[in-house]
């Protein structure tokens, strides 16, 4: 309930929460690994203190064989979520290797008993590996498990291979793969458009980039599923990117020093970090 209240803006009535936390604070967890793990998960979620992440890492190693598969999986999800928040909201890269180790060690729990895997989970696992240059692992994962994707298989494979190609510096291959995707999920659709925009700019395809910014802006404005806070950040990002393209393409050569300074100031004062949508 505490996690969902923070992540999904659900308003639970939690009158007894502090009483329960006080009780647990004074309790002994001898012979109760499940309670010890969930108490530390709560402390990590509540305080955001990194020491609880590493405490959970120790408990995970200590109790891996004692916890049920479900509890091991929930422990993985909360630790993974902590790493994701550090990366997305605070631009921290120091936990990316920790996150990949979680993925690699927890793989047996990511494949449900009925032998299917959801495509957002699939491509997220690949992204976590690619961010730390574990290309062989990512490609092996794709080959080994793509047959149990529940849906969006072709889109997912193009996204994954596009992400790998981009990280390897193979920009043309990345463009080709991303251009073939057409996800129904608006979060991943937005991710693809941002990645395409980055590629266009790196390739100096400024006309294509400006066209994409225009269609992207219209999509963001009309897509009701995107939260208002994310819409504001996306529209700010698109405006800043458009201004950057004008500077890079030499369309406005006067007062470039002032314009770069203003651009930097606009970036520093964005409403929120755009990577909240998990690019």
Per residue in 231-251, pLDDT tens?
888 999 999 999 989 888 775
3-state secondary structure of 149: strand
- In-domain check, residue 225: yes
Q: Does residue 178 sit in the same domain as residue 193?
A: no
Whether residue 94 is found in the same domain as residue 167? no
Identify whether 154 is part of a domain: yes
Statement to judge: residues 115 and 197 lie in one domain: no
- Point out which residues pair with 127 in neighbouring strands: none
Last residue of a domain, one of 81, 101, 121: 101
Number of domains in the chain: 3
Give the pLDDT score at 138. 97
Residues 146 and 216 in one domain: no
Q: Identify the domain containing residue 276 by its residue range.
A: 185-279
C-alpha 59/C-alpha 85 separation (Å) is 21
Q: Are residues 174 and 210 in the same domain?
A: no
Structure confidence by residue, pLDDT tens digits, 19-49: 988 888 888 887 899 999 999 999 999 999 9
Residue 69 lies in a domain: yes
Cα distance between residue 200 and residue 217, in whole Å = 16
pLDDT of residue 7: 65
End-to-end CA distance of the chain: 26
Q: Is residue 68 part of a domain?
A: yes
Domain final residue pick, 125, 151, 182: 182
Here the tokens at position 259 are: 């314009």
Q: Distance between CA atoms of 233 and 216, rounded to whole angstroms?
A: 13
75 and 2 co-located in one domain: yes
Rounded to 5 degrees, φ, ψ at 117 are -135, 140
* DSSP code of residue 180: T
Identify the helix (H) or strand (E) that includes residue 222.
helix 206-222
What is the chain's alpha carbon radius of gyration, rounded to the nearest angstrom?
A: 21
Query: Is 106 part of a structural domain of the chain?
Result: no
Write the pLDDT tens digit of every residue in 181-205. 999 988 899 999 999 999 999 999 9
Tell whether 57 and 83 lie within a shared domain.
yes
Q: Are 104 and 75 in contact (CB under 8 A)?
A: no
Residue 21 CB neighbour total at 10 angstroms: 14
Same domain, yes or no: 43 and 136 = no
Q: Identify whether residues 93 and 16 lie together within a single domain.
A: yes
Last residue of a domain, one of 182, 213, 233: 182
Angle between helices 96-110 and 69-90 (to 10 degrees): 150
Q: What is the pLDDT of residues 44-74, one digit of tens each?
A: 999 999 999 999 999 999 998 899 888 988 9
Q: Is residue 232 one of the residues assigned to a domain?
A: yes
Residue 213 inside a domain? The answer is yes
56 neighbors 77 (Cβ within 8 angstroms): no
Same-domain check for residues 19 and 92:
yes
Are 96 and 157 contained in the same domain?
Answer: no
pTM score, whole prediction: 0.82
Q: Assess contact for 276 and 233: CB atoms under 8 A.
A: yes
pLDDT value, residue 274: 55
Whether 54 and 42 have beta carbons less than 8 Å apart is answered as no
Q: Are 138 and 173 found together in one domain?
A: yes
d(CA 45, CA 42): 5
């Amino acid at each position: 309930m505490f996690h969902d209240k923070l992540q999904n803006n659900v308003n639970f009535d939690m009158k007894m929460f502090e009483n329960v936390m006080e009780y647990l604070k004074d309790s002994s967890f001898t012979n109760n690994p499940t309670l010890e793990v969930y108490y530390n998960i709560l402390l990590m979620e509540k305080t955001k203190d990194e020491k609880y992440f590493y405490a959970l890492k120790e408990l995970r190693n200590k109790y891996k064989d004692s916890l049920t598969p479900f509890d091991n999986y929930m422990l993985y999800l909360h630790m993974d979520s902590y790493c994701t928040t550090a990366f997305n909201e605070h631009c921290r890269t120091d936990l990316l290797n920790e996150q990949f180790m979680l993925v690699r060690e927890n793989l047996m729990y990511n494949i449900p008993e009925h032998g299917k895997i959801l495509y957002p989970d699939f491509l997220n696992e690949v992204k976590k590996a690619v961010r730390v240059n574990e290309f062989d692992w990512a490609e092996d994962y794709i080959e080994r498990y793509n047959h149990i994707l529940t849906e969006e298989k072709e889109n997912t494979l193009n996204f994954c291979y596009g992400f790998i190609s981009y990280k390897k510096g193979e920009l043309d291959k990345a463009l080709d793969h991303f251009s073939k995707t057409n996800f129904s999920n608006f979060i991943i659709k937005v991710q693809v458009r941002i990645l395409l925009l980055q590629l266009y700019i790196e390739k100096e395809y400024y006309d294509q980039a400006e066209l994409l910014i225009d269609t992207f802006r219209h999509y963001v404005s009309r897509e009701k599923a995107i939260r208002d806070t994310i819409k504001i950040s996306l529209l700010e990002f698109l405006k800043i990117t458009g201004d950057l393209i004008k500077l890079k393409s030499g369309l406005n050569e006067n007062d470039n020093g002032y314009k770069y300074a203003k651009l930097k100031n606009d970036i520093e004062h964005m409403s929120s970090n755009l990577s909240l949508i998990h690019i």
